[in-house]
Structure 1
Amino acid sequence: MNNSRWPHAFFAAAALYAMIGVCWGLAMGATHNHATYSAHAHLNLLGWASLGLMGTYYAILGQAVSKWVKLANFVLSNLGVLLMIPGVYMYLGQAGPPALYGPMIGIGSLLVATGFLVFVVTVIMGLFRPASPAATA
């Protein structure tokens, strides 16, 4: 039995990003202003879909993954989303100086990519772990 709370943390973050994305989409539809749709799509993909899939992996197959790896994956991915998406929003909406949103997009993107790298390495390493007796039955 997997008693780790990490899948719940990933799902909670994903659900929060989904709710923000839904409200954002409703606001765009109501105002007929879709200038920031790209940032909205990135929030849905990186925040909702990706973190939800990572949480699913850790819930189903990630029992042997160190809590520190899950922590690193969670923190890197969320900090990346929290920097990158507002930066893209400002860039698309022409709000704020490039000196602000440029680093937000750059650093956020690198954090997201590093979070994905941690996840990819974790998944690939899982291929080489011996199967549990319950999984082979």
Structure 2
Amino acid sequence: MGVRFIKISVCYFVIGVCFGMYMSMTEKFTFTPVHVHVNLLGWTAMTLAGLIYVAFPRAAETALAKIHFWIHNIALPVMMIGLALLVSGVSAAGPAVAIGGTAMVLGVIIFAINILVNVRN
């Protein structure tokens, strides 16, 4: 599970960096919130979760880890596509941001429960 998180986090890193490069080249920074969230929740948070799961295989082998993985990887694209549309002026995209964001919080809570229950000395 840890390796899966690390590998997919690199994909989010590439997406985040490409958003940053696009904004720099066009000097249009409308997508800054998307860039920041993809890098934070996609690259950084998922890399750290992956490293934690590598360090603590007991937590990685749980159903909670699998649920966390899938919620995180469904919620983040929903939230980011919605956010990209929202900052582009599509106000109807607000519910996608809310649904994706709420699911993301749920995924993080599941991760926290998994760590608190299954990571031991």
Equivalence for 1:24: 19
Equivalence for 2:117: 125
Equivalence for 1:37: 32
Equivalence for 2:107: 115
Counterpart-to-counterpart distance in 2, 1:67 and 1:12: 19
Q: How many residues align?
A: 120
The superposition leaves residues 23-69 of structure 1 with CA deviations (integer Å, 9 ceiling, x where unpaired) of 111110000000110111011101000011100110001x1123421
Q: Which runs of 5+ in 1 are unaligned?
A: 1-5, 132-137
1:64 equivalent to 2:58? Answer yes
Q: Compute the TM-score of the two structures, normalised by the length of structure 1.
A: 0.82
The superposition leaves residues 89-126 of structure 1 with CA deviations (integer Å, 9 ceiling, x where unpaired) of 111121x3x33x12210110011101100111111113
Could you say what the CA RMSD is over the residues aligned between the two structures, in angstroms?
Answer: 1.3
The runs of at least 4 aligned residues of structure 1 exceeding 4 Å deviation read: none
3-state DSSP of counterpart to 2:58: coil
The structure whose residues are more often helix, as a share, is 2
Q: Compute the TM-score of the two structures, normalised by the length of structure 2.
A: 0.92
Percent identity between the two aligned chains: 26
Q: Which amino acid aligns with 2:107?
A: G
Equivalence for 2:76: 81
